[in-house]
Chains A and B, each alone.
Chain A
Amino acid sequence: MKTTSVSAVAPIVTSNRRQFISRLTAWSAGLLAAPPIFQAFPQSLNAATAEPILSVGKGTDYEALLVKVFEPLGGIAPFVKKGARVVIKPNMSWDRKPELAANTHPLLVKAMARLCLQAGASKVMVFDRTCQDMRLCYASCGTPAAIESLNDPRVACTFVDDRKFVPVKIKKGKGIAEWEFYKDAVTADCYINMPIAKDHKLARLTLGLKNIMGILGGKRNALHPGTGDQSLNQKIADFNTVLTPTITVMDATRILLRNGPSGGKQDDVKELHTVFASADTVATDAYASTLFGLKPDELETTKAGFAMGLGQMDLNKVKVVKV
């Protein structure tokens, strides 16, 4: 009895080797532990519907245009609930000025953020994992400055923090079983996908489905090579099963016809002053390919997304509303 009371008072002093090792293990467990596997929600934020609505608008006042594009979709309210934590994911990948059509137009992102704030979002986060130096890309693309000008503490365009990439099991994945996703993106109540339509040598075009690359961690370039189920196009569709956007707003105010996705030449840019949106990302991608003179089924990514049940690629079955 006496010995137990002594060890209770001064456990360190009387610890034997076994106790010491178990204590050491307990203490060091935290240091050795890997980040836990993150459980993404099993159902997507927005299930595919039979006849999705796709709203297309044209105009040079991009902020007004975006508001107009949302009208046939029922406005912003069905997508952004009061108090929601919203993520807006534009493309800010390249150290290029807005006119070179490598990044989503800053005014469009700003208009989107404003709509979310008006809908009563508690927090609006804007970010993208860039392909070049983050500071240069963010400064050149103009989005952080545009977001700053909203002057609202609920919204911020922040740098991606490497520590926030969490491993996620891709349960429905055909080509890939696990990858790191950005925690803020997968835990958001509402994920707004804001790609820009661009040429891409491997995916043919980079559109809404491929925009998910910007919330992936790890060595993304290693995703490029592969054939069949291992192809980039299938893996992109797989990633979209983890996080299906609440809504995809496609920036086609200007599109990049050649030398994408980074471009750099004004000759390769075509101004269309067009924006379209749909809760169905596959439908937006299918529509976007027509802007490049392509049929939706000429894009392997769109086909893979359709095959995975992520949306409708047959434009005859999409209700296209021009505003």
Chain B
Amino acid sequence: MNFRLPHIPWKWWRRAAQLLCLFIFLWLFRKTESDGGPTIAFGANILFRLDPLVAASAVLAGVKLIAALWPALVTVALTLVLGRFFCGWICPLGTLLDITNHALPEKAAPPDRRWRVVKFFLLGLVLTSAVLGCQLIGYFDPFSILVRGMAIALDPWLNRAVTAPFTLIYQQAPESVSDITEAIYAFLKTRLLPFQQNSFAFSIVSFALLAAVFALELVERRFWCRNLCPTGALLGILSRFSLLRRFPARACGRCKAETDYTVRCRMGAFNERGLLQPESCNLCLDCLDDCPIDLPKFTFDKPKTAPAPFEPSRRLFLGSVVTGMALPLVSGAVHAARGLPADLIRPPGALPEPEFLDLCVRCGECMKVCTTNALQPVLLEAGLDGAFSPKFVGRIGYCEYNCTLCAQVCPTGAIALLPLSVKQKFIMGKAVFDKKLCIPFVKNESCITCEEHCPLPEKAIRFRDVELIHPVTKQRVIAKRPYIVWSLCTGCGICETKCPTEVKSAVHMFREEAIPAAVRNDAEIMDMVSQPAPPSSEPKPRANSDGY
């Protein structure tokens, strides 16, 4: 008896790979969170380390080789063999777009091919700007857009949306009901939801970028991948040299007549003359399954004909280079006008400012992983190219003394991973008291909250006992008035987070170099406001910066 294995269509293999990669990505995303231990074993940062655009722009902008980005070389090597398979088989954003497309009506019109070259323009622009020290990858890299959008918008929103109804039932319904719902909630809490409710400034901006990528699916299938994705463009250029080739390199007459492949191909890879653009094909292999005469093959044989001509023109690349050269000038406007804000503090271990912005790929993972929600996205206060980079906001959260997770998940080393004992002494900034807000100064009452929380064994906040008259009771009281031990303070910000004053904290973190010399004094309790501002001390001025 003749026994044959059932034929499994190629698309099922591809879908399995896509779903597996998507699942791994989502699992890693969920695992990018503290479990109380000193290290994170798995992180979603592998996605960024696989991304050759991240590697290229960080290496060009930082002018140094980054060893942690070696997986990008694997992607490049595999692309030179297999073509742009990454986009069709691995990329989680591509998979999510494919899933979205299933829910949308099929497109009948052929794609508008004029959009096709935009991705090459963006690629040229990002890389040229990067060479000139202006890192724009946060606006255009697919994984920056995806991971950041999920981390700072979707994930906190999902947590809130799921938790709110359970809380309502828990608080208002009888126990017989809430016992059941709480069991469900406990399950979700441990498996699906983040540990705590976080919130991020301007999360709507990162969400809008991600939402736009999905909304474009209404216009064309895989609109982002076909037309806009600069990583796809880079892989596309490489795939023109790939060994694996589709044969024939064009849609045959029958296909053109019966099932217009310019419309049906997922990537719109066949141009108007029916020729396959190798830089567009993402090897989804739908055409192998769909062809009624089993004509197409993917082979390593040397192609008999030259591939279809490269779509973007030389002029387009020139334009992208010129634009990429102009943008660093524009982005310097904020620096020229005001310098860096005195309280724009970077995560612990962050490289000095220009270098930090060169290497940071705005992935949002440090913000996601920060246990106290202290790392927040910058909008425009650090310049056009500073957008979506992390800043430390002491009023929201603080830097945990025993935590190095932000550096652990940083894919490029923009936040250097320091040994814990070194990180514990790393100066992020310095705390400065505001006597007009601090309770022992205003009400002559002891408070000690800041000192109690100071994690340094030697205590960077200490007191002076001052005998005073209480403003209300008119009795003699001893108020413990705090001061900062300048030489010890690391700017971890826990005093600012925990300060019990309303709205504004009586102690605030500033960058060390932005604090006037007169305030840098252990013995005296000074506030920033009464001191003249120092000139801006940006280490490497990008444009004319004459004070702020």
Nearest CB in chain A to that of B33: its residue: A135
Report if A163-B452 is in contact (Cβ < 8 Å); known contacts: A95-B402, A132-B400, A221-B498: no
Give every chain B residue within 8 A of A31 (Cβ-Cβ): 168
Known contacts A262-B452, A264-B455; is A224 also within 8 Å of B371 by CB?
A: no
Task: Please state if A200 and B402 are interface contacts (CB–CB under 8 Å).
Answer: no
Assess the B172–A33 pair: CB atoms within 8 A.
Answer: yes
- For the complex, is A139 an interface residue (Cβ under 8 Å from B)? yes
Q: Does A82 contact B (CB under 8 A)?
A: no
A202 to B463, CA, bound (A): 11
B447 at the interface (CB under 8 A from A): yes
Q: Judge if A296 is at the interface, Cβ distance under 8 Å.
A: no
A224 and B163 alpha carbons, distance in the complex (Å): 31
Chain B residues with Cβ under 8 A from A261's Cβ? 452
Interface string of B429-443 (1 = CB under 8 A from A): 000000000011001
A73–B444 Cα gap in the complex (Å)? 45
User: Of B167, B372, B473, which one neighbours A227 at CB under 8 angstroms?
Assistant: B473
Q: Mark A125-148, 1 if CB is under 8 A from B, else 0.
A: 000000111011011100000000
A227 to B477, CA, bound (A): 9
Q: A95-B400, A201-B480, A227-B470 are in contact. Are A262 and B37 (CB under 8 A)?
A: no
**Contacting residues of chain A (221-265) with chain B, CB-CB under 8 angstroms:** 221-222, 224-228, 259, 261-265
Q: Which residue of B lies closest to A219 (CB)?
A: B500
Which residues from chain B contact A259 at a C-beta distance below 8 Å?
Answer: 457, 459
Residues of chain A within 8 A of B385, CB atoms compared: none
Quick one: which of B151-169 are within 8 Å of A by CB? 163, 167-168
Q: Contacts A225-B439, A262-B453 known; A201 to B168 CB distance under 8 Å?
A: no
CA distance A138 to B195 in the complex (A): 14
Question: Does any Cβ of B come within 8 Å of A83's Cβ?
Answer: no
Partner of A163 from B37, B170, B454, B459 at Cβ < 8 Å: B170
A225–B195 contact, CB under 8 A?
no
Q: Does B499 contact A (CB under 8 A)?
A: yes
**Given the complex, which residues of B lie within 8 Å of A221, measured CB to CB?**
449, 498-500
CB-based A-B contact count at 8 angstroms: 99
Tell me, in angstroms, the Cα distance from A36 to B439 when the chains sit together.
Answer: 33
Q: Assuming A201-B448, A221-B499, is B167 touching A133 (CB within 8 A)? A: no
When distances are taken between beta carbons in the complex, the residues of chain A under 8 Å from B170 are 163-164
Q: Does A11 contact B (CB under 8 A)?
A: no
Contact between B452 and A200 (Cβ–Cβ < 8 Å)?
yes
Contacts of B451 in A (CB 8 A): 201
**CB-CB < 8 A to B499: which residues of A?**
221
Total residues of chain A contacting the partner, CB 8 A: 34
Q: Which of A33, A136, A163 has the most CB of B within 10 A?
A: A136
Say how far B156's CB is from chain A's closest CB, in angstroms: 15
A224 near B457 with CB under 8 A, answer no
Q: How far is the CA of A190 from the CA of B59 in the complex (A)?
A: 62
Smallest distance from the beta carbon of A179 to chain B beta carbons, Å? Answer: 14
Q: Which residues of B contact A139 (CB under 8 A)?
A: 35-37
B449 touches A30 (CB 8 A): no
Chain B nearest Cβ from A159, distance in angstroms: 8
A140 near B473 (CB under 8 angstroms)? no
Which residues of chain A in 110-162 are interfacial with respect to chain B, using CB atoms and an 8 Å cutoff? 131-133, 135-136, 138-140
Contact across chains for A136 and B171 when beta carbons are under 8 A apart = no
Complexed CA–CA distance, A133 and B372 (Å): 7
Inter-chain contact B452/A133, CB cutoff 8 Å:
no
In whole Å, how far is B369's beta carbon from the nearest beta carbon of chain A? 12
Q: Of all chain A residues, which has the CB nearest B197?
A: A162
Q: How far is the CB of A264 from chain B (nearest CB, A)?
A: 3
B101 at the interface (CB under 8 A from A): no
Q: How many angstroms from the CA of A140 to the CA of B38 in the assembled complex?
A: 10
* Contact call A136/B403, Cβ cutoff below 8 A: yes
Q: Do residues B168 and A135 form an inter-chain contact, with CB atoms below 8 A?
A: no
Measured between alpha carbons, how far is A131 from B450 in the docked complex, in Å?
12
Across-interface contacts of A138 in B (CB, < 8 A):
36
Q: Which residues of A sit under 8 angstroms from B473, Cβ to Cβ?
A: 227-228
- Of residues 266 through 323 on chain B, the ones whose CB sits less than 8 Å from some CB of chain A are none
* B402 with A140: CB separation less than 8 A: yes
Closest A residue to B439 using CB positions: A225
CA–CA, A262 to B494, complex, Å?
13
Q: Which B residues are in CB contact (< 8 Å) with A309?
A: none
- Residues of chain A having any CB pair with chain B under 8 Å: 30-31, 33, 35-36, 95, 131-133, 135-136, 138-140, 163-164, 200-202, 219, 221-222, 224-228, 259, 261-265, 268
Would you list the 10 A-B pairs with minimal beta carbon distance, nearest first?
A: A139-B36, A264-B457, A135-B36, A265-B457, A221-B500, A222-B500, A133-B371, A225-B445, A221-B449, A201-B448
Sample 9 A-B pairs with CB under 8 A, ordered by A number.
A36-B171, A132-B455, A135-B34, A135-B35, A163-B163, A164-B170, A202-B452, A219-B500, A227-B445
- Beyond the given pairs A221-B449, A221-B499, A226-B445, 11 more chain A to chain B contacts, judged by CB atoms under 8 angstroms and listed by A's residue number, are A132-B400, A133-B403, A136-B403, A140-B36, A164-B170, A201-B480, A202-B446, A219-B500, A221-B498, A261-B452, A264-B455
Task: Point out residues on B near A: beta carbons under 8 Å.
Answer: 34-37, 163, 167-168, 170-172, 195, 371-372, 400-403, 439-440, 443, 445-449, 451-459, 463, 470, 472-473, 475, 477, 480, 494, 498-500
